[in-house]
Chains A and B, each alone.
Chain A
């Protein structure tokens, strides 16, 4: 089947605008992660959805960032009033089981550029 799908693959937005990034996880995967990767840098944890539990939002850098996961499937990461420092690649990953850690599969990412 298909892997983790992210859209758009590239997004250029003006400073101050809101953006929505979409992640379609692998069907049946109960765990979903969002990470941010700045140019040449590591993977910064943002948010983790684990089955029906409350999401772990401890990595969200400010209240301009929020994420939802509807029906235990598709997730949307929203950044309000974008700033230039938000420019990065946003990566989504999903894994099969939220109770025992298994392989996390990553999407190709959304490259966000704030001008």
Chain B
């Protein structure tokens, strides 16, 4: 089955700097890669997703890149703000299969 690894486990950046979180997956059949943000005491919320037919997707300050050959994908947050502080999870799956999550990255943005 699918296995997703995520790095780093914690990340501290200064406000305004960029943050990058990286994930690798094992199942070459995976074709959907969402990223979730979890704030304290809340359930995770989708912030961006990418399918295997594209290599990059951007939404304002957030972008995701996918390298299917190497089986890794990354989340890029530019111009970080204190409200970006949260735990971020990557996930991977194929059609009709279950979502498997990475172990999470705790991002802290210092003013």
Residues of chain A at the chain B interface (Cβ within 8 Å): 4, 33, 35, 41-43, 45, 48, 50, 53, 56, 58-59, 91, 93, 98-101, 103-109
The listed residue (A45, A59, A98, A103) touching B46 by CB distance below 8 A is: A103
A33-B98, A108-B41 given; 11 more Cβ-contact pairs under 8 Å = A4-B43, A42-B104, A45-B99, A48-B99, A91-B43, A93-B99, A100-B95, A101-B95, A101-B99, A103-B46, A108-B42
Shortest Cβ distance from residue A13 to the other chain B in the assembled complex, whole angstroms: 21
B101 touches A42 (CB 8 A): yes
A103 touches B98 (CB 8 A): no
Given contacts A91-B43, A106-B44, contact A45 B101 (CB under 8 A): yes
B43 touches A107 (CB 8 A): yes
Q: How many A-B residue pairs have CB under 8 A?
A: 60
Which chain B residues lie closer than 8 Å to A106 at the CB level? 36, 43-45
The listed residue (B41, B45, B89, B93) touching A101 by CB distance below 8 A is: B93
CB-based nearest B residue for A46: B98
A41 touches B32 (CB 8 A): no
A48 touches B98 (CB 8 A): yes
Verify if B86 is at the interface (C-beta below 8 Å from A): no
The listed residue (A4, A42, A58, A105) touching B103 by CB distance below 8 A is: A42
A4 to B41, CA, bound (A): 15
